[in-house]
Amino acid sequence: MMLPACPIRRSGQPSPQHGMTLIELMVAMALGLLIVLAAAASLLFAREGFTAVDAASQLRDNGRFLQNLVLRLGAQTGYKNLRFATETKRLGAAPGNALAPPDIFGVNNAKRGTQSEWDSGTERQSGEVGYGSDILVLRYQTSSATADSATSDKTMIDCAGVAATNAPTEPGDKLVSILYVKEDSAGAEPALMCARSETGAAPYDAQPIISGVENFQVLYGVDGIGPANTAVPGTTDRVADRYLRADQLTVSDGQPASINKAATYANWRRVRSIRIGVVLRGPPGSAKPDGGNQTFYPLGITKDSASGTEGAAFSSSNDPGSRYTPPFDGRLRQTLTFTVHLRNAQDEN
C-alpha cells in the first residue's frame, strides 16, 4: 500500500502566515479606546462622588462641633462662682449696678479686630468676607471646688475649649468668649473666630476654630421686651416672647452715635435664649455645578401661608445675611440652625 506523497518543503522557504488586516486593527483600537474612556469616566464620577460625600461629612462634623460648643458656652453664660452666688444670697444684696456689663451681648452685621473691646464692632460692608455675619459675646465666671478656693476646678471652658485656671476674686471677674467671622490666617477661607480673655479685658487671644463658616447669624429670645424694644418692669416669666436682632436691643439716648447703656443693658439681661444660624461651605469642586446660584436661609425656612412659596422664617431686609445667596463657585454648602436656652439667670434687676 502506497502512502500519499507529502509535499516537499524547500529549505529556506517561509511558511504561510495569517494576521490582522488594517481594518481589523483599527476596529480593535477603537473598541479598546471606548473601554478606556468608559473606565476613565467611571473613575471620574466615582471620584466626584467621593469628594462630595467627604465634603458633606466634613461639614456635618463642623456643624456638630459648632453646635456642641455653643450649647456648652450658653449653659455657662451668666454662671456665678460659688463664693459670689452664696454671698449675694446670704447678704440679701440689692439689685446690681445698672451699668454693669451684661453676660450676653451681640453686635449685628459687624466685624472686629483682635484688640477690640468685648462690646465693639465695625459694620461690615457689602462684598466683604462674612457680610451680614454677627458678633456673639458670652461672659461667665469660673467654677471652684469650694467657696473660698482661689483655684479653678477646670470645668468651665472658653470658646477655644481651654479650661480656665484661676477662680475670680471680684464679682466682676469674668471670662469672655467672643464668636465672629473673619478670614483665616492664610486669608483664603472665612472662619469662625474665637476671641477669648480669662481676665475679661483686652488684649484678646483670637484664633480660628472652624474653617469654612461664611455666614453666622444670631437672634436673641427676649422676655418682657415691649413694642418699643425696651424692658417692661414686672413682665418677666423666664420664657422668651420673641426674637430680636442685636441692634433692636440697643436703646438710643437721642444723641448721635450714643446709647443709653442702662436701658440697653437692661434689655440684654432679658435674653433667655439664642437662635443660631450658620452657612458652612466645603472646598472648591466639592459640589457639581448646577448652572445657578442657591439661596440659603440660615435662621430657618418657612412657607407663606397664602402663596405657599418658600422663604426665611426670620429673614429681614434690615438683617443682611438672613437671606444669603453666595456666588456660583461649585462649593458644597450646608445650613445649620439651632436654639440655645440659657440655663443661668441673667439678673435682669
Secondary structure (3-state) at 161: coil
- For the chain, give percent helix, strand, coil, nearest 5: 20, 25, 55
In a domain, 55, yes or no: yes
In a domain, 39, yes or no: no
In a domain, 90, yes or no: yes
Q: What local confidence, expressed as pLDDT, does residue 223 receive?
A: 92
Quick one: cell of 119?
Answer: 462690646
Is the pTM higher than 0.85? The answer reads no
In a domain, 133, yes or no: yes
Q: What local confidence, expressed as pLDDT, does residue 165 receive?
A: 83
Residue 79 structural domain: 50-341
In a domain, 127, yes or no: yes
Q: What local confidence, expressed as pLDDT, does residue 36 receive?
A: 84
In a domain, 26, yes or no: no
Q: What local confidence, expressed as pLDDT, does residue 292 receive?
A: 66
Domain count, the chain: 1
In a domain, 224, yes or no: yes
DSSP 8-state secondary structure symbol assigned to residue 7: P
Q: What local confidence, expressed as pLDDT, does residue 140 receive?
A: 92
In a domain, 188, yes or no: yes
Burial 135-149 (b: 16+ CB within 10 A, else e): bbbbbbbbbbeeeee
What residue ranges of the chain have pLDDT lower than 50?
A: 90-95, 305
Taking the C-alpha atoms of residue 222 and residue 105, their distance in angstroms, rounded to an integer, is: 12
